[in-house]
């Protein structure tokens, strides 16, 4: 006969199989229906504010795993704060302007860009950005990211654009902004500036020349001494202002016929194998000397040193023209070099180039070489095939060319030092992050704010048509800002200067009233770097400064830095109180993800395969302070972890099917084991809370997983099955356990809610309304805090002993199992032989031990031999009596009371009661 139907077995509709890809969208719809985000803010209105300010992703392409890592971490922070009673709005944003979108739109044009009016082109860029904003929005929502998705901030919003203008004005009036030269990629065929991404590298055959330059103030004892410079661009020689040596390298003065040459020692052996070295000096020693100019007799050239000088090609001495090279330009400040740039838009030399004026650089190349030859300065002329930048449109070689740009100065008004002083006021997580930002601020050059592109916010600068003065005044700034606020920045391209400026606006310098508009737009980093101002200060529900910025470590150069610079320049304060940095996503071998390696994990695929909650579990299981490794195998393993959490919830739910709040047992009346379970729960809550406070989510994850595995599945839930299933439904033994089960369930489902919001909500759905205290969503519930009343050192010490004993007994039971003595542990009887002093303790807890060890009987007796205190001998034997067909325990009473029923005395009592009820 089966007694199964007389047991209280678990019942629940919570399925074992999650089918997250199919079910998660249901919860998304539900959250939208109940307007969860708004409700959460309502709940905490007026409470302490916590602002996590979202760093805007670029509005291009689908989200990848890096976005996933970033936004899930943010979401956990936000949800944690919301459940903890903080007013924690989360306004997501997008970075909308910029070259990549412009490039994509340009690629899709059916006619040349020049034939399309600027505002129409910009409209296409705007449409393009919109498409991806909508796409990414849905993708982020699908990940379970909670936020104000109805009202995200966009850097292309008119109000946002207006803020950019006003901030620029503030920085300008503070004297931090100036106009200067800087070399950029330039295609003189298309007559346009090019961005890095518009450059293709192809092999090109170039001249490779070695030029002799005499020392102006010959420091050598020898006569006829020349320094040998090497270059592949003779046409840049008119712009020469310096020659650079490597500071650490050795330079050798060698004898060649009647002349003596100076060049890098290791290269001299290659170029002049049979020559004699007269002297060797370090590059450093020659710094500050002057040599004759390669082109203009009346000028000279300064000897400088630079670590980028190559000792692999040429002579180890390079010609420096800050107007035509980025590296060359970088030496400008250190050596106070002039930026000479005698080339116009079409690649023609200007009057500045003297006799070469009017020549296109290619013709000039020949002329310059001829002149060098005539003067006897051209030592060698070869050609070289090297990788050289080419224009993506016309495919012709491009040049580097200095043009007028707008800069934020790091030095004016002691700005750099001001920023450096403010860095320590921010909390940087992890700690090393402060070193990185500090080093970068220390070293960074002036910030070039201007770009020669179409898709962005125009620089609000006017130029007087009469005196050429650059005009930026309070009035002009406000006029532009207001215009952008009302009509967006496209209006800049639709209107003439006089339509934008106030009516009787006159040049402050000459009084003239006609102006031209600046053609350049802002660097997009300036736009995103202004977000704290454009978003936090303009929305009534937000607050400046932000409580936290949370981004990948690359943002030390990017957003962390640009935001800091903008904020200090405009407000004299950092825009954030704390900055949290995370690593990058890599594959399971620690390598970066790339299509060519074939190791890319696509979050959208994984959502369809394993679900967002499993993906979120991956985020949480990774230590974000280093790189996060992902692969489908790693995610599969997290699927296993997920099932542990899920099945435990299922068990908890199943055993509460007949429980009501009114049946809860007061703490004082709980069985000891159940009180101990509450104690453990509270230890876990305390540990988890500490981990959350320090943003150590992977620690919280581990604590919880260990708790579910060891404390719950491996111990408490396993042990109390007997009580739950076998005892009378309404017995105190059962209700005591259920009381604690409910507490465990409610506590853990809340704590796990930020990690796995979908599953937590699914659990919540399966809870009786009675348990939920009218919370329609687990996310609207309050975060659990530890209950100190549940902690008891005495109880804890007692159970340390019991659990240690349990471990020892389990080893013995396993031996018995291997020997074939028992199978199920209920087939066993455990005999403990102990020291006289321990006898009472163990005798007293025999019933507890029988339950905790899940054996049919425990006997305790005095050991026959001498034992130390605490020492014991554990014996395992087959249990006496017969197996009770109801509770499966072995007992001598089985079949004794009623020979027809093979059940034990305890079960008879329950059965009689049940029959009596019927």
C-alpha distances out from residue 411 to 169, 299, 419, 672, Å: 18, 30, 11, 70
Q: Which of 64, 643, 843, 901 binds RNA (CB under 7 A)?
A: 643
- What would the 3-class secondary structure string for 617-677 be? HHHHHCCCCCCEECCHHHHHHHHHHHHHHHHHHHHHHHCCCCCCHHHCCCHHHCCHHHHHH
Q: Which of residues 702-721 bind RNA (CB under 7 A)?
A: 702, 705-706, 709-710, 712-715, 717-718, 721
Q: For tokens 């200060």, name the residue.
A: 537
Q: Which of residues 504-563 bind RNA (CB under 7 A)?
A: 552-554, 556-557
Q: Rule CB under 7 A: is residue 627 a binding residue for RNA?
A: yes
Q: Which of 210, 621, 682, 759 binds RNA (CB under 7 A)?
A: 621
Q: What is the DSSP letter of 54?
A: P
Q: Which of 58, 230, 725, 764 binds RNA (CB under 7 A)?
A: 725
Q: Which stretch binds RNA (CB under 7 A): 7-15, 315-323, 540-548, 738-746?
A: 7-15
Q: Rule CB under 7 A: is residue 651 a binding residue for RNA?
A: yes
Mention every residue, 6+ apart, whose C-beta is less than 8 A from residue 814.
none
Nearer to RNA, 294 or 529 (CB): 529
d(CA 782, CA 789): 19
Nearer to RNA, 499 or 640 (CB): 640
Nearer to RNA, 465 or 713 (CB): 713
Q: Rule CB under 7 A: is residue 351 a binding residue for RNA?
A: no
Nearer to RNA, 233 or 621 (CB): 621
Closest distance of CB 865 from RNA, Å: 23
Contact call for residues 736 and 671 (beta carbons, < 8 A) = yes
Q: Which stretch binds RNA (CB under 7 A): 140-148, 450-458, 617-625, 749-757?
A: 617-625
Nearer to RNA, 484 or 651 (CB): 651
Closest distance of CB 587 from RNA, Å: 9
Q: Which of residues 285-314 bind RNA (CB under 7 A)?
A: 307-308
CB atoms within 10 A of CB 114: 9
Contact call for residues 407 and 178 (beta carbons, < 8 A) = yes
Q: Which of 32, 203, 796, 814 binds RNA (CB under 7 A)?
A: 814
Judged on CB neighbours under 10 Å (0-12, 13-18, 19+), 581 is buried
User: Under DSSP, is residue 484 helix (H, G, I), strand (E, B) or coil?
Assistant: helix
Closest distance of CB 827 from RNA, Å: 7
Closest distance of CB 837 from RNA, Å: 24
d(CA 405, CA 734): 78
Nearer to RNA, 23 or 709 (CB): 709
Nearer to RNA, 149 or 810 (CB): 810
d(CA 597, CA 173): 51
Contact call for residues 143 and 434 (beta carbons, < 8 A) = no
Nearer to RNA, 44 or 555 (CB): 555
**What are the structure tokens assigned to 718, written together?**
């396993």
d(CA 838, CA 842): 6
Q: Which of 103, 272, 584, 765 binds RNA (CB under 7 A)?
A: 584
Q: Judging by DSSP bridges, how do beta strands 242-245 and 300-305 pair with one another?
A: parallel
Contact call for residues 730 and 664 (beta carbons, < 8 A) = no
Q: Which of 634, 732, 839, 873 binds RNA (CB under 7 A)?
A: 634
Q: Judging by DSSP bridges, how do beta strands 546-552 and 576-582 pair with one another?
A: parallel
Q: Which of 26, 494, 608, 811 binds RNA (CB under 7 A)?
A: 811
What is the dihedral sign for C-alpha 729, 734, 735, 737? negative
Interface pattern 652-671 for RNA (x via CB under 7 A): --x-----------------
d(CA 75, CA 147): 8
Q: Which stretch binds RNA (CB under 7 A): 68-76, 104-112, 270-278, 634-642?
A: 634-642
Q: Rule CB under 7 A: is residue 215 a binding residue for RNA?
A: no
Judged on CB neighbours under 10 Å (0-12, 13-18, 19+), 708 is buried
Contact call for residues 73 and 624 (beta carbons, < 8 A) = yes
Q: Which of residues 235-294 bind RNA (CB under 7 A)?
A: none
Q: Which stretch binds RNA (CB under 7 A): 35-43, 44-52, 533-541, 811-819?
A: 811-819
Closest distance of CB 601 from RNA, Å: 12
Q: How many residues bind RNA (CB under 7 A)?
A: 80
Closest distance of CB 250 from RNA, Å: 17
* Torsion on CA atoms 55, 61, 62, 67, rounded to nearest 10: -30
Q: Return the percent helix, strand and coil in the chain, to nearest 5.
A: 45, 20, 35
Closest distance of CB 249 from RNA, Å: 12
Q: Which of residues 815-854 bind RNA (CB under 7 A)?
A: 817-818, 823-825
Judged on CB neighbours under 10 Å (0-12, 13-18, 19+), 151 is exposed
Nearer to RNA, 605 or 814 (CB): 814
Closest distance of CB 311 from RNA, Å: 11
User: Under DSSP, is residue 301 helix (H, G, I), strand (E, B) or coil?
Assistant: strand
858 - beta bridge partners? 830
How crowded is the C-beta side of 407, counted as CA atoms within 13 Å? 16
Q: What is the DSSP letter of 572?
A: S
Chain centroid, CA 779 distance in Å: 24
Nearer to RNA, 505 or 715 (CB): 715
d(CA 122, CA 709): 57
d(CA 161, CA 528): 11
Q: Which of 586, 614, 756, 908 binds RNA (CB under 7 A)?
A: 586
Q: Rule CB under 7 A: is residue 599 a binding residue for RNA?
A: no
In 3D space, the residue among 217, 256, 184, 169 whose CA is nearest the CA of residue 473 turns out to be 169
Q: Which of 9, 131, 467, 905 binds RNA (CB under 7 A)?
A: 9
Q: Which of residues 387-446 bind RNA (CB under 7 A)?
A: 432, 435-436, 439-440
Interface pattern 553-572 for RNA (x via CB under 7 A): xx-xx---------------
Q: Which of residues 50-69 bind RNA (CB under 7 A)?
A: none
d(CA 530, CA 541): 18
Judged on CB neighbours under 10 Å (0-12, 13-18, 19+), 119 is middle
Closest distance of CB 326 from RNA, Å: 7
Q: Which stretch binds RNA (CB under 7 A): 377-385, 572-580, 672-680, 700-708?
A: 700-708
In 3D space, the residue among 555, 581, 556 whose CA is nearest the CA of residue 429 turns out to be 581
Q: Rule CB under 7 A: is residue 583 a binding residue for RNA?
A: yes
Closest distance of CB 188 from RNA, Å: 23
Q: Rule CB under 7 A: is residue 728 a binding residue for RNA?
A: no
Q: Rule CB under 7 A: is residue 467 a binding residue for RNA?
A: no
Nearer to RNA, 361 or 749 (CB): 749
Mention every residue, 6+ apart, whose C-beta is less than 8 A from residue 595.
none
Contact call for residues 341 and 239 (beta carbons, < 8 A) = yes
Nearer to RNA, 452 or 647 (CB): 647
Q: Which of 62, 203, 326, 362 binds RNA (CB under 7 A)?
A: 326
Longest dimension (CA), the chain: 127
Closest distance of CB 759 from RNA, Å: 14
Closest distance of CB 818 from RNA, Å: 6
Nearer to RNA, 10 or 85 (CB): 10
Nearer to RNA, 640 or 668 (CB): 640
Interface pattern 737-776 for RNA (x via CB under 7 A): ----------------------------------------
Q: Which of residues 868-897 bind RNA (CB under 7 A)?
A: 885-888
């Amino acid at each position: 006969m089966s007694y199964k139907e007389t047991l209280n077995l678990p019942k629940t509709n919570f399925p074992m199989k999650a089918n997250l890809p199919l079910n998660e969208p249901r919860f998304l719809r539900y959250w939208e229906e109940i307007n969860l985000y708004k409700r959460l803010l309502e709940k905490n209105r007026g409470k302490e504010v916590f602002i996590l300010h979202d760093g805007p992703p670029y509005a291009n392409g689908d989200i990848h795993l890096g976005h996933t890592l970033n936004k899930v971490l943010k979401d956990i922070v936000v949800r944690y704060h919301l459940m903890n009673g903080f007013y924690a709005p989360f306004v997501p944003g997008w970075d909308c302007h910029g070259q990549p979108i412009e490039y994509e739109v340009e690629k899709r044009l059916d006619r040349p860009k020049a034939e399309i009016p600027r505002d129409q082109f910009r409209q296409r860029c705007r449409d393009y950005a919109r498409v991806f904003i909508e796409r990414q929005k849905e993708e982020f929502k699908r990940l379970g990211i909670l936020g104000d998705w109805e009202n995200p901030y966009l850097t292309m919003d008119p109000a946002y654009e207006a803020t950019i203008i006003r901030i620029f004005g503030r920085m300008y009036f503070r004297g931090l902004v100036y106009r200067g030269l800087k070399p950029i990629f330039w295609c003189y065929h298309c007559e346009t500036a090019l961005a890095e991404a518009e450059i293709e590298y192809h092999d090109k055959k170039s001249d490779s020349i070695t030029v002799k330059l005499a020392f102006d103030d010959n420091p050598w004892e020898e006569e006829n001494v020349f320094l040998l410079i090497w270059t592949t661009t003779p046409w840049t020689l008119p712009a020469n202002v310096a020659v650079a040596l490597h500071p650490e390298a050795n330079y050798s003065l060698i004898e060649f016929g009647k002349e003596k040459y100076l060049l890098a020692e290791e290269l001299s052996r290659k170029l002049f194998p049979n020559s004699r070295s007269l002297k060797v000096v370090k590059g450093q020693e020659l710094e500050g000397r002057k040599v004759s100019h390669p082109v203009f007799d009346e000028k000279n050239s300064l000897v400088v040193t630079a670590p980028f000088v190559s000792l692999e090609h040429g002579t180890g001495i390079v010609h420096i023209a800050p107007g035509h090279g980025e590296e060359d330009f970088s030496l400008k400040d250190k050596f106070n070099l002039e930026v000479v740039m005698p080339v116009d838009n079409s690649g023609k030399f200007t009057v500045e180039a003297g006799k070469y004026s009017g020549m296109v650089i290619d013709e000039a190349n020949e002329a310059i070489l001829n002149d060098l030859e005539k003067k006897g300065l051209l030592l060698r002329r070869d050609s070289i095939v090297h990788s050289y930048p080419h224009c993506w449109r016309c495919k012709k070689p491009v040049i580097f060319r200095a043009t007028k740009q707008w800069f934020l100065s790091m030095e004016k008004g002691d700005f750099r030092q001001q920023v450096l002083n403010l860095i320590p006021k921010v909390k940087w997580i992890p700690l090393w992050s402060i070193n990185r930002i500090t080093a970068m601020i220390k070293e960074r050059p002036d910030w070039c704010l201007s770009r020669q592109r179409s898709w962005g916010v125009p620089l609000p600068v006017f130029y007087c048509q009469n005196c050429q003065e650059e005009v930026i005044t309070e009035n002009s700034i406000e006029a532009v800002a207001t215009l952008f606020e009302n009509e967006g920045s496209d209006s800049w391209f639709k209107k003439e200067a006089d339509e934008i400026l106030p009516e009787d606006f006159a040049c402050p310098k000459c009084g003239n009233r006609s102006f031209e508009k600046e053609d350049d737009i802002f660097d997009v980093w300036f736009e995103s770097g202004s977000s704290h101002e454009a978003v936090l200060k303009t929305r009534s529900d937000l607050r400046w400064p932000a409580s936290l910025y949370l981004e990948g470590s690359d943002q030390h150069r990017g957003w962390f830095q640009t935001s800091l610079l903008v904020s200090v320049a405009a407000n004299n304060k950092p825009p954030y109180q704390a900055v949290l940095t995370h690593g990058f996503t890599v594959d399971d071998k620690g390598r970066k993800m790339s299509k060519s390696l074939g190791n890319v994990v696509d979050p959208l695929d994984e959502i369809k395969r394993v679900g967002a909650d499993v993906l979120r579990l991956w985020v949480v299981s990774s230590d974000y302070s280093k790189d996060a490794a992902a692969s489908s195998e790693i995610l599969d393993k997290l699927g296993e972890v997920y099932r542990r959490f899920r099945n435990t919830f299922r068990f908890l739910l199943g055993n509460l099917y007949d429980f009501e709040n009114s049946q809860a047992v007061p703490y004082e009346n709980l069985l000891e084991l159940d009180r101990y379970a509450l104690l453990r729960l509270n230890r876990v809550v305390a540990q988890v809370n500490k981990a959350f406070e320090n943003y150590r989510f992977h620690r919280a994850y581990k604590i919880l997983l260990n708790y579910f595995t060891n404390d719950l599945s491996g111990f408490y839930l396993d042990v109390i099955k007997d009580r739950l299933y076998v005892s009378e439904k309404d017995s105190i033994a059962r209700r005591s356990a259920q009381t604690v089960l409910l507490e465990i369930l409610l506590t853990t489902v809340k704590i796990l809610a930020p990690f796995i919001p979908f599953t937590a909500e699914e659990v919540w759905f399966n809870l009786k309304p009675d348990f939920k205290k009218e919370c329609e969503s687990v996310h609207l519930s309050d975060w659990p805090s530890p209950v100190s009343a549940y902690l008891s050192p005495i109880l804890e010490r007692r159970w340390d002993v019991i659990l240690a004993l349990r471990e020892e007994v389990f080893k013995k039971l396993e031996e018995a199992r291997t020997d074939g003595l028992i199978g199920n542990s209920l087939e066993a009887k455990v005999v403990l032989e102990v020291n006289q002093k321990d006898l009472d303790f163990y005798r007293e807890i025999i019933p507890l031990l029988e339950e905790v060890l899940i054996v049919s009987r425990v006997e305790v007796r005095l050991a026959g031999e001498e034992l130390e205190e605490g020492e014991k001998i554990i014996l395992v034997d087959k249990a006496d009596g017969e197996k009770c067909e109801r509770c499966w325990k072995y007992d001598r009473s089985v079949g004794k009371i009623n020979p027809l029923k093979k059940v034990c005395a305890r079960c008879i009592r329950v059965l009689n009661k049940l029959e009596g009820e019927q």
